[in-house]
Amino acid sequence: MSKARTVGVGMDYSPNSKAALRWAADNLIDSGDLIILIHVQPPNADHTRKQLFEDTGSPLVPLEEFREINFSKQYGLTSDPEVLDILDTLSRTKGAKVVAKVYWGDPREKLCDAVEDLKLDTLVVGSRGLGALKRVLLGSVSNHVVTNSSCPVTVVKGNPVSAK
């Protein structure tokens, strides 16, 4: 029997972050693993819990509390039935423990901080599939995290963004 792991999944409720969560559920999560859904809110977001937890991030929030609409409102998160369904299924069928944590700031930096703070064994993030030029101009969260993280990072690629 393998040792239970702590797996982080970056979540911004985009199709690509949901794809990363689905990939982790289908390919990575085993019985007894701890899954931490990591949300990074913009530094200028003003929600009731930010004043309390801006420096350290929120406490770990269990799935039961994460389901509640009040939780989403307090942290400025989207309540997404698809994400909750994936997490419920992971908890029920694989016996994984699911919690959430919210940070405020630059996603590149905060995801790397989360690896250290939460002692993650691995991190899974989505990628917007930016082309080379857009990646240079806009920056790439996934590229920064892969380059600077102290744990293995899996990037689940999204569909390429079409030029407009």
- Domain total of the chain: 1
User: Per the domain annotation, does 20 fall within a domain?
Assistant: yes
Residue 160 token pair: 């390429």
For residue 77, the model assigns a pLDDT of: 82
CA-nearest of 27, 8, 3 to 101 is 8
CATH assignment of the domain containing 125: 3.40.50.620
Residue 124 token pair: 């899974």
User: Per the domain annotation, does 129 fall within a domain?
Assistant: yes
User: Per the domain annotation, does 52 fall within a domain?
Assistant: yes
CA-nearest of 129, 124, 127, 132 to 149 is 124
Do 140 and 148 touch, CB atoms closer than 8 A? Answer: no
User: Per the domain annotation, does 45 fall within a domain?
Assistant: yes
Residue 47 token pair: 């929600």
Per-residue pLDDT of the chain (164 residues), as tens digits, is 568 899 999 999 989 999 999 999 999 999 999 999 999 988 887 777 777 787 889 889 898 888 887 777 778 787 899 999 999 999 999 999 999 999 999 999 999 999 999 999 999 998 865 555 444 444 478 888 988 999 999 999 865 544 44
User: Per the domain annotation, does 163 fall within a domain?
Assistant: no
Q: Quote helix, strand, coil % in the chain, to nearest 5.
A: 40, 20, 40
Burial readout 139-162 (b: 16 or more C-beta within 10 A, e: otherwise): ebbbebbbeebebebbbbebeeee
For residue 136, the model assigns a pLDDT of: 44
User: Per the domain annotation, does 70 fall within a domain?
Assistant: yes
For residue 117, the model assigns a pLDDT of: 95
pTM for this entry: 0.86
**Domain extent for 64:** 6-157
| DSSP state letter for 1 | -
User: Per the domain annotation, does 89 fall within a domain?
Assistant: yes
Question: Within 10 Å of residue 63's Cβ, how many Cβ atoms?
Answer: 18
> 25: Cβ–Cβ under 8 A, 6 or more apart, which residues?
86, 89, 90, 94
User: Per the domain annotation, does 1 fall within a domain?
Assistant: no
For residue 159, the model assigns a pLDDT of: 59
